[in-house]
Amino acid sequence: MKRYLPFVIIAAVLAAAVGAGVWMFRSAQNKSEPTQSPSGSPVASYNSTGPKGVVTIEEFGDYQCPPCGALNPTVKTLKSEYGDRLRVVFRHFPLTSLHKHALEAAYAAEAAKVQGKFWEMHHMLYENQSAWSDVGDFRPVAFDYANRLGLDVQRFTQDMDGLKVMSNVASDEQRANSMGVNSTPTLFLDGRLVPSDGMTLEALRKEINQRLSVNP
pLDDT beyond 70 at 194: yes
User: What's the pLDDT at 215?
Assistant: 63
pLDDT beyond 80 at 137: yes
Per-residue pLDDT tens for 37-86? 333 332 333 333 345 679 999 999 999 999 999 999 999 999 999 999 99
Per-residue pLDDT tens for 84-111? 999 999 999 999 999 999 999 999 999 9
C-alpha span between 40 and 21 (Å, rounded): 29
Structure pTM?
0.75
Mean pLDDT across 155-160: 98
Strand order in the sheet with 86-92: 86-92, 55-61, 186-189, 192-193
Angle subtended at Cα 31 by Cα 30 and Cα 33, rounded to the nearest 5 degrees: 65
Using omega within 30 degrees of 0 as the cis cutoff, is the peptide bond preceding 185 cis?
yes
Mean pLDDT across 177-188: 96
First to last CA, the chain: 74
C-alpha span between 8 and 25 (Å, rounded): 26
Is residue 213 exposed (0-12), middle (13-18) or buried (19+ Cβ within 10 Å)? exposed
